[in-house]
Copies of this chain bind each other. A is one copy, B any other.
């Protein structure tokens, strides 16, 4: 633990040039009130001395560190990594940094991450909450510490914050309507954890489409907590083993679930889409290359990331903390592929 040699500071430059540190600071921060000649000299000397601003000191003094904290369940999931990539594209151009944390779907870890970010005095926290149920005092804390907050995708509805969400209900309703139009009559639903609003909304979309088309709502066709490939495969085995099995499955939780369905159907010799229609959610890259390719819903994740970034810079960065929070809803797009095209 040693510091072999000090970094150059503005005082070193000031001393060398026999001027005040404040002038050096002004020259470096490109302030107008400084003689162009001295300014040039200062910049030249700074470069020669290999000067790099100490951002920690600058941040402390200015009370802002131009940093946005991001908390997601998992970084290495197509949807979230695309969101982050999109955000980075925006923040990079604004000279902001992104600090990334993953909750691993655990509430306690999410609380930890949020506290760490509050501690860092980030300018804004962008979060999509973990699946594990838990309170949201930690998010209230963010607001209490006067840090801006954007929730996206999986949001705590009752908390009044900026939100960037997908219209899950509408997208799901469209997907199920599409299945009905293709002639499917007994459509099963694979549900995600109902403590997350996104999964409740998707279920709602499923129900409303059935109602709209006058189809019965059958409890036995709705499977709880089928939100991994494995759990979905298990649920599918049960569904397809019924006396009166479904003729379509809407894997509302993810494409991974849809893949589980497809694999089980293939194993059981059930032909897709003829005997069984399958629709997933998220438009993961692989849905295009399975056989048959899988119908799914694209959430525009990369551009959603950009939307989040732009929202911060355009509406929040310099605005009053107490402005009415904005809610932006992005309409996902149904991508029809072979797994649901009977006609």
Chain B residues within 8 Å of A1, by CB: 318
Q: A119 to B95: give the CA distance in the assembly, Å.
A: 11
- What per-residue 1/0 map shows which CB atoms of A245-263 lie under 8 Å from chain B? 0000000000000010000
Report A152 CB to chain B, min CB distance, Å.
Answer: 16
**Mask for A45-85, Cβ within 8 A of B = 1, else 0?**
00000101111110110010101000000111110011011
Tell yes or no: A291 within 8 A of B by CB: yes
Interface size on A, residues (CB 8 A): 58
Chain B residue with the shortest CB-CB distance to A145:
B52
Q: Are A88 and B102 in contact (CB under 8 A)?
A: yes
A76 to B82, CA, bound (A): 5
A4 touches B76 (CB 8 A): no
- Point out the residues of chain B lying under 8 angstroms from A144, CB to CB: 50
A55 to B99, CA, bound (A): 14
Cβ-based interface call for A182 (8 A): no
Tell whether A213 is near chain B: CB-to-CB under 8 Å. no
Q: Do the beta carbons of A74 and B85 come within 8 Å of each other?
A: yes
On whether the beta carbons of A85 and B75 are closer than 8 Å, the reply is: yes
Find the residue from A55, A78, A286 having the highest chain B CB count within 10 A: A55
B65 near A76: Cβ-Cβ < 8 Å = no
Is A150's CB within 8 Å of the partner chain B? no
- Report which of B50, B88, B112, B119 forms a contact with A53, defined as CB distance below 8 A: B119
Contacts of A76 in B (CB 8 A): 78, 81-82, 84-85, 302
- For residue A3, CB closer than 8 A to chain B, the reply is yes
CA–CA, A256 and B146, complex, Å: 45
**Of all chain B residues, which has the CB nearest A117?**
B97
Choose among A75, A113, A286 the residue with the greatest number of B CB atoms under 10 Å from its CB: A75
16 further contact pairs, Cβ within 8 A, besides A50-B145, A92-B112, A291-B291: A1-B318, A3-B63, A4-B146, A4-B322, A56-B56, A56-B65, A56-B121, A75-B88, A76-B81, A76-B82, A88-B102, A95-B116, A97-B99, A99-B99, A285-B286, A286-B286
